Structure 1
Amino acid sequence: MRKFLVLLDDSHESLNAMRFAAMRASNSDGAVLVLAVIPAAEIQHGFGVADVMRAEAQERIEAHYEVFAKWMRTRPKVEPELLIREGDPAEELLRLLDEDPEIGIVAIGLSSDKSRQNPVLTRLLRDAAGLPCPITIVPGDISKERLEAIT
């Protein structure tokens, strides 16, 4: 089974990347793997604070994920899988690509705001020739209808 890997974050373009991955997975009998990364800088260490902050971040991620997962289960009829890691998002995504040979495509959303950098996409493109699978860049402003038409 081919997996579509999507990085979950708070961006609008992440939503379109998830839509794209779910529709493609549905149309190709694939699966969707959603990676959420808690940046290590967000976790302050000391006196048990790190555990509390980590738990709060996980709860926030799981609530955010469930919104998308519910849509995936009902509309394109795909059961997504959530994986939460801690560290640098780009490094964790690359590590996951090395660990899971079933990942066939990475779907990354791209913001239409030219002033906003996407460090994960920048990192992936820097190493694109050595990646084990293709990257699909999904425009953040593409409509649901257009996504349905092309998937």
Structure 2
Amino acid sequence: MSDSEGQIRNFLVVVDDTPECRLAMRWAARRAMRLDGGGGVVLLRVTEPPDFQHWMGVGELMREEAREEAEQLLTNLAKELLEGTTLTPQFVIREGDLAEQVQSVIDDDKSIRILVLGASAESGGPGPLVKRFAGERSGTLRIPVTVVPGTLSRDDVDMLS
């Protein structure tokens, strides 16, 4: 849905190679489609800076490879998203600390209205971003956070979104 200024309302999904990321993306896309006037999905992939500083050329090559892998992941996720919706997601690729980059994207893009995170179904906890943004920092964000449990099936996500 567009807000009173005509700006689209976007759902920000932090993506990686995990199954819970795909569930979060599906939830966000289905919610965005249900908004009056439509909404959008922004897929964020954050890469680690290269840890190899001895030769600048090697570090740059590592950075380029990480970006290419991020672009491929985002392209594949967009194809999945397009199978069940009419949405074309926006891609954002950042390099650096994951939590800092998520916060930066939220601060920089006022069209982002909800942060959607997938929670790991593993016994090690829901994941560092869920702990940080749905726990420690949840009261400091300018937007709500939605946590999609990794234990849900696709049908569950469809029913809940």
Q: Which TM-score tier does this pair reach, normalised by the shorter chain?
A: over 0.9
In structure 2, C-alpha distance between the alignment counterparts of 1:36 and 1:20, rounded to whole Å: 18
Cross-structure match for 2:154: 144
Question: Could you tell me which residue of structure 1 aligns to residue 32 of structure 2?
Answer: 25
Q: Does 1:69 align with 2:100?
A: no
Separation in structure 2 between the aligned mates of residue 121 and residue 146 of structure 1, nearest angstrom: 20
TM-score scaled by structure 2?
0.87
Alignment root-mean-square deviation, CA: 1.4
CA distance in 1, matches of 2:91, 2:52: 24
Distance (Å, rounded) in 2 between the aligned partners of 1:26 and 1:48? 44
Match of 2:61 in 1: 52
Residue of structure 1 in register with 2:141 after alignment? 131
Q: Give SS of 1:61's match.
A: helix
The 1-side partners of 2:18 and 2:80 are apart by: 17
Radius of gyration: which is bigger? 2
CA contact (8 A) 1:43 1:54 kept: no
Structure 1, gaps ≥5 residues long: none
Give the whole-Å Cα distance in 2 for the aligned partners of 1:21 and 1:43: 33
Q: Deviations over 1:36-78 (max 9, x none)?
A: 10122x4422231111111111111111111110122242111
Aligned residues: 150
CA separation in 1, counterparts of 2:90 and 2:56?
33
What are the ranges of 5 or more consecutive residues in structure 2 without an aligned counterpart? 1-7
Write the letter of the residue equivalent to 2:17: D
Residue 4 of structure 2 is matched in structure 1 by none
The DSSP-based 3-state class of the residue aligned with 1:48 is helix
